[in-house]
Structure 1
Amino acid sequence: MDALMLSGSRRKSVGLAYLLLTFFGLFGLHRLYLGRSLSGAGMAAITLLSIPLIWSGLGLLGFVTTGTWALADALLIPSMARETNQAMPALA
């Protein structure tokens, strides 16, 4: 019984992923939550580097890049969550 409860608590929620996308999408927290740590860190790095460069073209380009990426992720979150949940080992 405990193994079943633990397994259920480790599954990734599509709803929570969308919530993270809504509030922290440019920082890639939804990707970190769904186990995509390298691309999530990449989104965060681009966004953080773009902040001091906001008045230059590079800063704007960074925000457009991560914004477009986050919008595309809005369509991809259900499949990313499914892949992550299927890859989790079942506890017996």
Structure 2
Amino acid sequence: MLAVLSSGPRRKSVGLAYLLLLLFGLFGLHRLYLGRSLSGAGMAAITVLSIPLIWSGLGLLGFVATGTWALADAVLIPSMARETNDPVALLA
């Protein structure tokens, strides 16, 4: 009975990923949502470490790095969602 209720992992929404990118892009929440835990945590760590260093060049450099990364992800989100939703396609 439990197997009938559980249809496996939920499909990831491209729209929700874009919303997370728009609201929390520098923190990598869109990457965490799409199953890219390590790189999402890396984005969050760079952003959090850059906050106290904002007045130095290192803080600004951190924000430029994660900002550029988030802009690149704006193009990559549909393919990341496709890979997450259809892992069998990766084997073909």
- 2:51 alignment partner in structure 1: 51
Cα offsets for 1:19-64 (capped at 9, x unmatched):
0000000000000000000000000000000000000000000000
Distance in 2, Cα, partners of 1:59 & 1:46: 9
Amino acid in the other structure paired with 1:59:
G
Q: Which runs of 5+ in 1 are unaligned?
A: none
Displacement after TM superposition at 1:87 (Å): 1.7
Q: How far apart are the structure 2 equivalents of 1:25 and 1:6?
A: 30
Aligned to 1:87: 87
1:20 lines up with 2:28 in the alignment: no
Structure 1 length-normalised TM: 0.87
Alignment partners' CA distance in 2, 1:72 and 1:28: 12
Query: Equivalent residues in 2 for 1:29-44 (5 A)?
Result: 29-44=29-44
Deviation, structure 1 residue 6: 3.2
RMSD over aligned CA atoms reads 1.8
Structure 1 stretches of 4+ moved >4 Å = none
Q: Report the TM-score when normalising by structure 2.
A: 0.87
Structure 1 match to 2:7: 6
> How far apart are the structure 1 equivalents of 2:57 and 2:25?
21
Per the alignment, residue 65 of structure 1 pairs with 65
Which structure would you say has the larger RCO, counting Cα contacts within 8 Å and 6 or more residues apart?
1
Name the % identity.
Answer: 84
